Amino acid sequence: MEHDSEERYATAMPSYCAFLGHQPHISIAELSAAIPDFRMKKVLGSSVLLFESKSDIKTAELNTLGGTVAIARKIEPDVTTLDDVPDTLWKEVKGVTGKITFGLRAYNVPPARVHDLYRRCKGALKDHGRASRYVGTERTPAASVLLQDTGLLDGSHGCEIVLLRDDDTLWIGRTVAAQDVNAYAKRDMGKPVRDTRIGLLPPKLAQILLNFGHWLARGTVGNAASLTVFDPFCGTGVIPMECLLRRWNVLACDLSLKAANGCEKNLDWIRKEHDILKKDVWSEVWKQDARKPFELKKKPDVIVTESTLGPTLEKPAALRLAQTLKAEGEELQEEFLRNVAATLPGVPVAAMWPVWFTSKGTVRLEKVWDRLHTLGFRVAIPAAVDLEITGRPTLLYRRPGQYVGREIILLQQSKK
């Protein structure tokens, strides 16, 4: 494992490990934008990130991060061999009353070794006169819902121990936060208006884009500050819904009246579901062409939006179709950004542009990218972004089997 030359930091900051979602490069960029004092240490394989931060990360913080599945905090003092795990577990759970529940989440530790450890942990707890229950298997850790429901995250009924082996080093921690999968599914599938024709933005990706928006508007200060967000291509409102859940005010418009009405209905629904009162957090939705001057009742702190991606494609786009869609996209984005610079000067933009995957390679917006400076924008990007993925300072989001991807573009305006 890498050792930090600045020992002062290494000892002062708690060490965390993040289990990343299915687009790890975006997850890492999101963490670097959203976690205060984030210091990246090492990526294990492609799915686990070791980092340091002074903040006390719990489930409430994780619930605002779309790209991270679970977070564990290192157990201090260092545990150096797997043989110490039963004793470490006992120290973590001895304050629990009644039957103890525990789990093990391992990376790079053979299942047979995990199985052996589980038996030894159970034995150690028995030696202390305590009955226990194990959640998960030697191959698959317990689902995050189970961790929540069985009181392992807050420590009320036990804990999940995380074991990471890398070369000769061992990192042992306990899970402190895990994504609430059911809550995502509920707001994705349960909302009253869903329009599959305009593509469905996953709530987790909306959260990621909002975290980048927050970073653009406020700098790397974590998720403390409240915002007013504007989504000018709101569709049925996934981004506005996520804003309300964070108690951020939201302005939203769409060229289509049907979409704007759908967004309004979805916002009413999320307000009822989560008791979010208009007097505490306001929202306004209307029909408008994003190329026409914006006359807003309040200047937003940031624009966060997923603009038109064009038709959903079942197979790789023909090059000619991709070129046609690209020409339309270039024009729309340029007119939109020109309008933003003219009528919302200084407001940063976190947007997603389409990328088409054809049998002859990828097609993406280029003309508007080259004109960003002339239009009054400069590109911003969190420190931890791997620039080799798109070849320019942007991030690419693409699920397997998708032929239209999303390129995340983060912009500051040159003039305030």
Ligand X SMILES: C[S@@+](CC[C@H](N)C(=O)[O-])C[C@H]1O[C@@H](n2cnc3c(N)ncnc32)[C@H](O)[C@@H]1O
Distance set, CA 367 to CA 272, 304, 337, 381, 407 (Å): 44, 21, 13, 20, 15
CB of 343 to ligand X, least distance (A): 14
Question: What are residue 206's phi and psi, to 5 degrees?
Answer: -60, -40
238 is a contact residue toward ligand X (CB under 6 A): yes
CB nearer to ligand X: give 50 or 263.
263
Number of amino acids touching ligand X (CB under 6 A): 21
Is residue 39 helix, strand or coil? strand
386 is a contact residue toward ligand X (CB under 6 A): no
**Contact mark string toward ligand X, 258..297, x via CB under 6 A:** -x-----------------------------xxx------
Question: Burial level of 406, CB count in 10 A (0-12/13-18/19+)?
Answer: buried
Q: Which H or E run contains 116?
A: helix 111-127
CB nearer to ligand X: give 21 or 262.
262
| The token pair that represents 154 in the structure block | 């807050």
CB nearer to ligand X: give 30 or 254.
254
Site for ligand X (CB under 6 A): which residue of 198, 216, 302, 375?
198
Only one of the segments 44-52, 130-138, 306-314, 318-326 lies at the binding site for ligand X (rule: CB under 6 A); that segment is 306-314
Cα(153)–Cα(151) distance, rounded to whole angstroms? Answer: 6
Distance set, CA 360 to CA 28, 320, 346, 391, 400 (Å): 30, 11, 39, 18, 18
CB of 90 to ligand X, least distance (A): 48
Site for ligand X (CB under 6 A): which residue of 308, 333, 394, 413?
308
233 is a contact residue toward ligand X (CB under 6 A): yes
Site for ligand X (CB under 6 A): which residue of 59, 179, 236, 333?
236
Contact at 8 Å (CB) between 291 and 336?
A: yes
Contact at 8 Å (CB) between 31 and 38?
A: yes
CB of 199 to ligand X, least distance (A): 5
309 is a contact residue toward ligand X (CB under 6 A): yes
Cα(43)–Cα(38) distance, rounded to whole angstroms? Answer: 14
Cα(67)–Cα(22) distance, rounded to whole angstroms? Answer: 8
CB nearer to ligand X: give 76 or 289.
289
239 is a contact residue toward ligand X (CB under 6 A): yes
Contact at 8 Å (CB) between 203 and 210?
A: no
Only one of the segments 14-22, 65-73, 229-237, 278-286 lies at the binding site for ligand X (rule: CB under 6 A); that segment is 229-237
CB of 130 to ligand X, least distance (A): 49
CB nearer to ligand X: give 214 or 406.
406
User: Which ranges of 256-389 does DSSP label H, i.e. alpha helix?
Assistant: 257-274, 319-343, 367-370, 372-375
Site for ligand X (CB under 6 A): which residue of 164, 201, 243, 363?
201
Only one of the segments 99-107, 184-192, 193-201, 343-351 lies at the binding site for ligand X (rule: CB under 6 A); that segment is 193-201
Site for ligand X (CB under 6 A): which residue of 109, 124, 255, 296?
255
CB nearer to ligand X: give 141 or 235.
235
Cα(315)–Cα(405) distance, rounded to whole angstroms? Answer: 13
235 is a contact residue toward ligand X (CB under 6 A): yes
Cα(316)–Cα(402) distance, rounded to whole angstroms? Answer: 9
CB of 253 to ligand X, least distance (A): 6
Q: Which amino acid is at 340?
A: V
202 is a contact residue toward ligand X (CB under 6 A): no
237 is a contact residue toward ligand X (CB under 6 A): yes
CB of 235 to ligand X, least distance (A): 3
Buried b or exposed e, range 199-223, using 16+ CB within 10 angstroms: bbbebbbbbbbbbbbbbbbbeeebb
306 is a contact residue toward ligand X (CB under 6 A): yes
Contact at 8 Å (CB) between 160 and 175?
A: yes
The footprint of ligand X (CB under 6 A) covers 198-199, 201, 232-233, 235-239, 254-256, 259, 289-291, 306-309
